[in-house]
Amino acid sequence: MTNADREALGAALGSDGDAIAAEVATGESQLIRYPDGSRIVLRLEERIGAATELVIVAGAGTDATGKTTKLVALADSRGWSIRFHTRRPALGRLLGSLGFTEQERVYTHGR
């Protein structure tokens, strides 16, 4: 992950930027660079006894609806489920309109 990637992903990386960059470096996660400058970090998680899960780790840029719709179609065609991490309520509402359901909210305090 380059400095330009980190800059483009910005707040989406949060305090996990180094860990996410390490996952990309090892191939555990994949970074997608779109021609419009958008970036998405994805990871496939294979779970014993359950469907493979496409995890949207971080994303930033334009056309979230269009990009997410294409990822949903890809996951559906392969029989995968999708988990999407976001701290943004507006993105949560957008995901709801695309058939996602909120499973949990996590709150932390301190270090």
Longest CA pairwise span in the chain (Å): 42
pTM for the model: 0.84
Contact 34, 14 (CB under 8 A): no
83 bridge partner residues: 55
Render pLDDT for 59-99 as a digit per residue (tens, 0 to 9): 999 998 999 999 999 999 999 999 888 878 888 888 888 88
Residue 30 has pLDDT above 70, yes or no: yes
- State residue 48's pLDDT score: 80
Render pLDDT for 42-63 as a digit per residue (tens, 0 to 9): 999 987 887 899 999 999 999 9
